[in-house]
């Protein structure tokens, strides 16, 4: 019986050693230590032994069992660590591999500058209103005090849809719409597209963007206009920025001015951006002409107003030192990606 136990011990050790995974190891365990296993069968046959042999064989059988169990456990542990190693190899990540670059969309520079302008004026209590791009000739010209022989009314300059309808040449007709629908005090800005019959070149485009501003209240003066635009310029271009008002002529404002800001690159000394002038011409402005107030249904004896209008492309181009307007419309991703 001792010899049988030795055989079992050797055979079990061999099979355990060659088990390649947990399942085959379990099969080996059942084969030797299970209820119907080889070792159990031997222990069952112990009844046939003499009383002297029984404790000796019994102790020996226990040692064999203990050995087999120890082998099983050791093999089980080594199989488990091997499985873990394999899993780690299979799931390995190469952290040095270059990541896929995701391109994130951005706002167009025109939109960015427009948003910044809106922010500043909204912060000053202005409302944003919008008007249609297809506008009546009346709102675009007549109500804005532009006489019938005004050059801007020429077919050469304006896209007419028919005798009375056109693509607005400026955002100023929104002044008329605002005055007719709102009651003073009125404080609005109106950004949007405008159209003019211009050939495309570095500084012209048949479509561009303007931002209009209008304030109507009692006792609005040129001082309010100057203060407002100076505040805007400092917010937009930096606190050192100065403004300069030059007399000008617009049909819808009286007095009228063209407004320059001190060059924010050279601070006024003269450089490439300001073409040696020290100043950059940015917008048109003035006090609302009494005829325009009347056309908007507002009594010029009671109220006065200020208005201004600026080209957004111009602000974008001077802000970023862009020398050709066409870059803003070609939408080359390499250009747009810089903003």
Residue numbers at the binding site for ligand PHE (CB under 6 A): 170, 172, 212, 250, 253, 284-286, 307-309
| C-beta closer to ligand PHE: residue 72 or 280 | 280
| C-beta closer to ligand PHE: residue 172 or 241 | 172
User: Least Å distance between CB 285 and ligand PHE?
Assistant: 5
Q: CB–CB of 282/183 below 8 Å?
A: no
User: Least Å distance between CB 148 and ligand PHE?
Assistant: 18
Alpha carbons 129 and 133: distance in angstroms, whole number? 13
| C-beta closer to ligand PHE: residue 32 or 252 | 252
Alpha carbons 218 and 185: distance in angstroms, whole number? 8
| C-beta closer to ligand PHE: residue 9 or 170 | 170
Query: Which position's Cβ is nearest ligand PHE?
Result: 309
Select from 228, 220, 216, 221 the least CA-distant residue to 185. 216
| C-beta closer to ligand PHE: residue 145 or 172 | 172
User: Least Å distance between CB 328 and ligand PHE?
Assistant: 18
Q: CB–CB of 261/280 below 8 Å?
A: yes
Alpha carbons 327 and 200: distance in angstroms, whole number? 12
Give the C-alpha distances (Å, rounded to integers) separating 11 from 2, 58, 60. Answer: 14, 20, 16
User: Least Å distance between CB 110 and ligand PHE?
Assistant: 17
| C-beta closer to ligand PHE: residue 7 or 249 | 249
User: Least Å distance between CB 299 and ligand PHE?
Assistant: 20
Q: Where are the extended beta strands (E) located within the chain? A: 127-128, 134-136, 165-167, 186-195, 207-217, 243-250, 253-262, 279-288, 304-311
Q: Is 177 helix (H, G, I), strand (E, B) or coil?
A: helix
User: Least Å distance between CB 253 and ligand PHE?
Assistant: 5
User: Least Å distance between CB 307 and ligand PHE?
Assistant: 4
- Bridge partners of 257, per DSSP, are 247, 285
User: Least Å distance between CB 235 and ligand PHE?
Assistant: 19
Exposure pattern of 224-259 as b/e (b: 16+ CB <10 Å)?
bbbebbbebbbbbbeeebbbebeeeebbbbeebbbb
Q: What angle do CA 117, 320, 207 make, to 5 degrees?
A: 65
Exposure pattern of 174-184 as b/e (b: 16+ CB <10 Å)?
bbbbbbeebeb
Alpha carbons 251 and 290: distance in angstroms, whole number? 11
| C-beta closer to ligand PHE: residue 310 or 328 | 310
| C-beta closer to ligand PHE: residue 12 or 312 | 312
């Amino acid at each position: 019986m001792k010899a049988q136990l030795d055989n079992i011990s050797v055979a079990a050790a061999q099979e355990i050693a060659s088990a390649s995974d947990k399942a085959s190891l379990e099969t080996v365990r059942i084969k030797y230590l299970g209820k119907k296993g080889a070792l159990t069968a031997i222990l069952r046959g112990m009844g046939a032994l003499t009383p002297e042999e029984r404790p000796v064989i019994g102790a020996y059988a226990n040692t064999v069992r203990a050995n087999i169990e120890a082998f099983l456990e050791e093999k089980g542990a080594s199989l488990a660590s091997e499985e873990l190693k394999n899993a780690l190899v299979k799931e390995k990540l190469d952290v040095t591999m270059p990541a896929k670059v995701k391109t994130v969309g951005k706002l167009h520079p025109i939109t960015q500058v427009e948003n910044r302008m809106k922010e500043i004026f909204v912060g000053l209590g202005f409302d944003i209103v919008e008007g249609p791009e297809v506008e009546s000739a009346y709102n675009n010209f007549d109500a804005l005090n532009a006489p019938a022989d005004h050059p801007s009314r020429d077919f050469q300059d304006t896209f007419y849809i028919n005798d009375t309808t056109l693509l607005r040449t400026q955002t100023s007709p929104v002044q008329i719409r605002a005055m007719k629908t709102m009651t003073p005090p009125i404080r609005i800005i109106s950004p949007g597209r405008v159209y003019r019959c211009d050939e495309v070149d570095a500084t012209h485009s048949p479509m561009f963007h303007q931002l209009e501003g209008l304030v109507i209240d009692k006792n609005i003066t040129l001082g309010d206009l100057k203060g407002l635009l100076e505040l805007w310029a400092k917010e937009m271009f930096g606190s050192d920025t100065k403004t300069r008002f030059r007399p000008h002529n617009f049909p819808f404002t009286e007095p009228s001015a063209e407004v320059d800001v001190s060059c924010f690159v050279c601070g006024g000394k003269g450089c490439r951006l300001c073409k040696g002038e020290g100043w950059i011409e940015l917008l048109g402005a003035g006090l609302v002409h009494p005829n325009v107030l009347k056309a908007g249904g507002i009594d010029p004896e009671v109220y006065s107003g200020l208005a201004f209008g600026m080209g957004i492309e111009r602000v974008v181009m001077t802000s970023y030192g862009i020398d050709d307007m066409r870059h803003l419309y070609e939408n080359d991703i390499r250009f747009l990606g810089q903003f």
